[in-house]
C-alpha cells in the first residue's frame, strides 16, 4: 500500500519515511501541503496519508477539505500528525475531514497500529465498491453472455436514434437469430446451447466497433446497433457478422458444430421518424424474410416507399418456429 507523508521538517520526514518503509509501505514523501494535495487528488494517488498540521503553502486541514471535495474518487484515509493537543484543535482537524489524530511525539508502534486500522477501513471500502459494481453489472448485463440485457440495449437504441435524428446520422439496427437453435438444444442439450450463445456473443462483439452496441434481445436473438453508420456499408457489415458466425465451427463439449444466423437489417435514414419499437417491428419482419428465404442470410427492411407490407400483415404469415 502506498502512503503519503507530508512533513516540512526534513529530519522528521526522513525518519518517518524510514520507519514506514521498514514496515513494508511504499512511501511518497513531500515537504508542503500543496504537493500533498496534488498527489492525493490524482486518480491513482496514495490512499493513506500522514499530514502535518502546519505546512508551507497549504496547511493540513485545507488539504483534507480539498481531498474530501473530490467527487466519485476512492477514499483516502488521512491522519494528522501535530503537536496541537487541545480538544478544540482535534475537533477542527476531524471536521476538516481527517480520520485520525496523533499527537507528537508519538510511539512508532502506535502509528503502525493506527495505520493498520486505516488499511482495514480501505479494504472494507474496496469490498463494498466491488459488491456495488457487481450488482450494477448484474442489473445491466445478460447473465449468460455478458452482453447488455434487453432493457439496457433498448435504452441505448432509443438514445442513439434520438441522437441520429438530431444530427441527421444513420443508425443501422441488426436483429440476429440463431438458425435451428431448438435443434441444437434438443440434439446436444441445453449446456451446449449455452456454449453456442456465449461464443456467438463473443463473435458479434468482435465484429463491431468499440462504440457500437450488442445486446441479448431474448432467447437466441441478439440486437446490434451500429452508431453513425455509413448506409452504403451497412449491408456489408451485416454480411461480415454473418460470416464471422458461419465460416468457423463452434467448439463445444459435444464436438464442433456449424452454426449460422439470419439477420434482419434496418437503416434509420430509409425510414421516417419512428419509435424504437416501430423500427424493431420492421427489422423483425426483415429477419422473418431472411428465415423464409432459407436462413443464413441478411435481409434489409424495405422503406415504405418500396411497397412493404404492413407489419401486422406480415406477422400473420410468420411461422411459429424459426
Which domains, from first to last, does the chain contain? 2-139 (3.40.50.2300), 150-317 (3.30.70.270)
Which tens digits make up the pLDDT trace of 189-246? 999 999 999 999 999 999 999 999 999 999 999 999 999 999 999 999 999 999 999 9
Catalytic residue among 39, 160, 199, 220: 220
Looking at residue 104, what is its pLDDT?
A: 83
Q: What is the Cα–Cα distance from 90 to 117, expressed in whole angstroms? A: 19
Angle between helices 276-292 and 150-167 (to 10 degrees): 110
Which tens digits make up the pLDDT trace of 141-176? 999 999 999 999 999 999 999 999 999 999 999 999
Q: Which of 203, 247, 209 is nearest to 225 (CA)?
A: 209
Rg of the chain over CA atoms, in angstroms?
30
Q: Is 88 a catalytic residue?
A: no
Report in angstroms the alpha-carbon separations of 278 from 59, 310, 315. Answer: 61, 11, 14
Q: What is the Cα–Cα distance from 68 to 82, expressed in whole angstroms? A: 20
Q: Once rounded to an integer, what is the mean pLDDT over residues 126-137? A: 93
Instruction: Return the C-alpha torsion angle 17, 18, 24, 25, nearest 10.
Output: 10
Which tens digits make up the pLDDT trace of 260-284? 999 999 999 998 889 999 999 999 9
State pTM to two decimals.
Answer: 0.71
Which tens digits make up the pLDDT trace of 38-60? 999 998 899 999 999 889 899 99
**Given pLDDT bands bounded at 50, 70 and 90, which one contains residue 316?**
very low
Amino acid at each position: 500500500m502506498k502512503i503519503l507523508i507530508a512533513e516540512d521538517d526534513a529530519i522528521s520526514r526522513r525518519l518517518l519515511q524510514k520507519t514506514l518503509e521498514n514496515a513494508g509501505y511504499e512511501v511518497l514523501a513531500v515537504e508542503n501541503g500543496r504537493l500533498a494535495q496534488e498527489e492525493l487528488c490524482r486518480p491513482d494517488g496514495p490512499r493513506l496519508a500522514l499530514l502535518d498540521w502546519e505546512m508551507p503553502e497549504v496547511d493540513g486541514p485545507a488539504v483534507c477539505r480539498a481531498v474530501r471535495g473530490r467527487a466519485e474518487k476512492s477514499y483516502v484515509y488521512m491522519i494528522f500528525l501535530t503537536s496541537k493537543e487541545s480538544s478544540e484543535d482535534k475537533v477542527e482537524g476531524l471536521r476538516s475531514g481527517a480520520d485520525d489524530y496523533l499527537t507528537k511525539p508519538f510511539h512508532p508502534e502506535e502509528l503502525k497500529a493506527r495505520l493498520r486500522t486505516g488499511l482495514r477501513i480501505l479494504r472494507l471500502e474496496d469490498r463494498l465498491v466491488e459488491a456495488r459494481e457487481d450488482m450494477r453489472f448484474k442489473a445491466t448485463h445478460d447473465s449468460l453472455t455478458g452482453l447488455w440485457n434487453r432493457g439496457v440495449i433498448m435504452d441505448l437504441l432509443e438514445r442513439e436514434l434520438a441522437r441520429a435524428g438530431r444530427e441527421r446520422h444513420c443508425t443501422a439496427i441488426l436483429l440476429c437469430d440463431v438458425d435451428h437453435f431448438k435443434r441444437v438444444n434438443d440434439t446436444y442439450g441445453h449446456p451446449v446451447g449455452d456454449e453456442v450463445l456465449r461464443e456467438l456473443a463473443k463473435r458479434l462483439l468482435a465484429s463491431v466497433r468499440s462504440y457500437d452496441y450488442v445486446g441479448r434481445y431474448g432467447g437466441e436473438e441478439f440486437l446490434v446497433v451500429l452508431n453513425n453508420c455509413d448506409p452504403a456499408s451497412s449491408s456489408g457489415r451485416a454480411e461480415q457478422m454473418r460470416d464471422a458466425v458461419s465460416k468457423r465451427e463452434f467448439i463445444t463439449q459435444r464436438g464442433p458444430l456449424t452454426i449460422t444466423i439470419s439477420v434482419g437489417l434496418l437503416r434509420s435514414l430509409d425510414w421516417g421518424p419512428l419509435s424504437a419499437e416501430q423500427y424493431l417491428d420492421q427489422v423483425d419482419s426483415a429477419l422473418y424474410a431472411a428465415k423464409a428465404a432459407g436462413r443464413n442470410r441478411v435481409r434489409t427492411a424495405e422503406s415504405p416507399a418500396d411497397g412493404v407490407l404492413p407489419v401486422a400483415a406480415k406477422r400473420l404469415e410468420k411461422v411459429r418456429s424459426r
